Chains A and B, each alone.
Chain A
Amino acid sequence: MSDYRIHGATGEWEVVIGLEVHAQVTSNAKLFSGAATAFGAEPNAQVSLVDAAMPGMLPVPNMECIRQAVRTGLAINAQINKWSRFDRKNYFYADLPQGYQISQLYHPIVGEGEIEIQLDDKDPESTKTIGIERIHVEQDAGKLMHDQHPTMSYVDLNRSGVALMEIVSRPDMRSPAEAGAYLSKLRTILRYVGSCDGNMDQGSMRADVNVSVRRPGEPFGTRTETKNVNSVRFVMAVVEQEAKRQVAVIEDGGTVVQETRLYDPDRNETRSMRSKEDAHDYRYFPDPDLLPLELTDDFVAECKASLPELPDAKRHRYETALGLSAYDAGQLTLEVETYQQFEEMLESVARESGAPERDVAKRVANWILSERPGVLRAAGVAVTDPRNTVAANTALIVAVSKGVISGGKAKEIFQQYLTSDIDLAETIASNQQTTDTGAIEAAVDAILAANADKVEQYKGGKEALFGFFVGQTMKAMQGKGNPQLVNQVLKDKLG
């Protein structure tokens, strides 16, 4: 249970949130035509006669878009409706030359499902199940530009007709954090499934945020819908601002009006779109150009078989089969790229070091989550840099795990390798740490002799100086001394 409350002048208020997420379906061609969907093309280059609504053109559904919607439904354990139908949502606006959007109001392709969210990434018990009411497939609209000409708006129909999934949640969320966690989790699932690229800055995912407030335990209040919110952070801000606004309205003796609002990130506030009442009279009716969509059991079974291991299952496996902490498992499974790198590197490190994956998983996880990011940052290269190969990472991790070089040396060599043209295998070999006790003892003796004053201080109780001796010895040995042995020898000599 969320205990998030708005503290009003008259007491505490609970927030109720539902999200409608529009996710652009990953496909080559549009939902009902053969025009391309790629982002960033020249205006109106990806518009067919179907998308431009020329007379006589008929829509034919793209099988891949249907398949992706079904796969998404299966990924959230939803009911798949083998019989669904397209309806016309009628409205007149320049972004949609048909005069109606082809959507699925009455018989959506996917019915009820659910998503589990985790509210604290360090606490695997802090979960909550958010219900999904439905997913339906519909057309996206074109894009209007109002600032390019003094008296005209410019219309680009490239996006018009691209397939969208509208994923409608139940009003199950109770705080900005829950709404944010839900949207993040949904994005992760879509990216695992591959049904949406999840690029929120390119508009591939946009959320309509439904918010209402009530006294805890009382019936739902009147909700508002804030449209087209395009980041997790903004969704959380909308919930917070809109809930506060509604509480203020009610406590001032007013009533919340059910309406559509817009979020202004610059001012961090929502404002009414003040549309005309009848703008929402969509006069839905079944699209006579399209027969009902009937899916076979085989088709659904194929969709199911094509699903990858999903985030929750993967996280669970990382914890149980690989012995990783809940936190590491959560971090590694958050993004598709991260788990792919992890699994590739894990497989490679296990093979190269001849150890079971479970034995090297923690080392690989640490490298990816905490050690490598710092090196990449220091070297000023992206994770996608061509030199950041699985083979190079593996060589370093294996060298550390076999005791050839220390962890610190590995990071140092990796940074050199990323920024210059060194041969990795040679560099590792020439930096091999020594386990030659004689050499270590000689180095320690020299350091102790050169720092007689500090040895006195240490013996007098200043134990923090131990680290200084370790550092000096390692430095004298150019980082090649085996750290455990250096520690041991120092302890013996100083003891």
Chain B
Amino acid sequence: MSVDTATVAKIASLARIKVSEAELEAMVPELNGILAWVEQLGEVNVDGIEPMTAVIPNKQRLRDDVVNADPLTGGDIRDKVLANAPAAEHGFFGVPKVIE
């Protein structure tokens, strides 16, 4: 698998990352180098082997359905949430007008 300039430009645009022409030119061989390196994994025969999802046996833990049980992951912190917003008005984030 390899990517060309157009593909890299498209991915950058989907991720809303601004990449100049010069950067694009430099990035294509870099990304292709990474892809080729990862592709070496394809040489290993993994027939009948379950995909590994974690390096240690581990199960997904679930949280109880309790509001604001832990202040770090609870709500009611509007000021904190809005603190870094470039624009915040009337409790809302303000963003450049986006209408499709």
On A, residues with C-beta under 8 Å from B are: 27-29, 33-36, 42-52, 57, 60-66, 90-94, 99, 144-146, 148-149, 151-157, 273-275, 278, 281, 283, 290-294
Contacts and interface: CB of A to CB of B under 8 A. Distances in A.
B70 A292 contact: no
Contacts of A275: 100
B91 A44 contact: yes
Contacts of A47: 75, 77-78, 81
A81 B72 CA distance: 32
Contacts of A278: 10, 13-14
Given A151-B97, A278-B10, A43 B60 contact: no
Chain B interface secondary structure, helix, strand, loop or mixed? loop
Contact of B81 (A29, A49, A92, A290): A49
Contact of A145 (B68, B70, B92): B92
B75 to A, nearest CB: 3
A92 B11 CA distance: 12
Interface residues of B, number: 44
Contacts of B97: 146, 149, 151-153
Given A36-B75, A290-B60, A49 B80 contact: yes
B67 to A, nearest CB: 4
Chain A interface secondary structure, helix, strand, loop or mixed? loop
Interface string B64-99: 111111101111111011100001011111111111
Contact of B14 (A60, A146, A283): A283
B98 to A, nearest CB: 5
30 contacts: A29-B66, A29-B69, A34-B73, A35-B67, A36-B67, A36-B68, A36-B75, A43-B91, A47-B77, A47-B81, A48-B73, A48-B74, A51-B75, A61-B62, A62-B65, A63-B62, A63-B65, A66-B62, A93-B98, A99-B15, A144-B98, A146-B99, A152-B87, A153-B98, A156-B91, A273-B100, A283-B11, A291-B58, A292-B60, A294-B59
Contacts of B93: 44, 94, 154-155, 157
Given A63-B62, A153-B97, A154-B92, 5 more contacts: A35-B68, A43-B90, A43-B92, A44-B93, A152-B89
B18 interface: no
Contacts of B75: 33-36, 45-48, 51
Contacts of B59: 291, 294
Contacts of A36: 67-68, 75
A36 B69 CA distance: 10
A358 B53 CA distance: 57
A376 to B, nearest CB: 36
A49 B73 contact: yes
Most buried by B among A47, A51, A91, A273: A47
Contacts of B94: 149, 152-155
B92 A156 contact: yes
Contacts of B92: 43-44, 145, 148, 154-156
Contacts of B54: 291
